[in-house]
Amino acid sequence: MKVILFGATGMVGQGVLRECLLAPDVDEILTIGRTQLGTSHPKLRNIVLADLFDYRDIQAHLTGYDACFFCLGVSAAGLDEMTYTHLTYDLTLAAAQTLVARNPGMTFIYVSGAGTDSTERGRSMWARVKGRTENALQRLPFKAVYLFRPGIIQPMHGARSKTGVYQVFYTVMRPFFPLMRAIAPRMLTTERVGRAMLTAVRGGAPQAVLEASDIYMLAESGAGDGK
Give the pLDDT score at 57.
Answer: 95
Residues with Cβ within 8 Å of 105's Cβ and at least 6 positions away in sequence, in order, are 66, 143
**Average pLDDT of the residues in 139-146:** 98
**Average pLDDT of the residues in 157-181:** 53
Residues with Cβ within 8 Å of 161's Cβ and at least 6 positions away in sequence, in order, are 10, 11, 155, 167, 170
Least confident range from 23-27, 66-70, 138-142, 218-222: namely 218-222
Q: What is the pLDDT of residues 194-208, one digit of tens each?
A: 999 999 999 999 999
> Mean pLDDT for the chain?
89
Domains and CATH numbers, the chain: 2-221 (3.40.50.720)
Least confident range from 8-12, 53-57, 117-121, 221-225: namely 221-225
How many C-alpha atoms does 46 have within 13 Å on its Cβ side?
A: 16
Pairing of strands 2-6, 209-211: unpaired
Q: What is the pLDDT of residues 65-77, one digit of tens each?
A: 999 999 999 989 8
Pairing of strands 188-189, 28-33: unpaired
- Asked whether the CA dihedral 78, 81, 87, 89 is positive or negative, the reply is positive
Query: At residue 144, does pLDDT exceed 80?
Result: yes
With bands split at pLDDT 50, 70 and 90, how would you rate the model's confidence at 169?
very low
With bands split at pLDDT 50, 70 and 90, how would you rate the model's confidence at 187?
confident
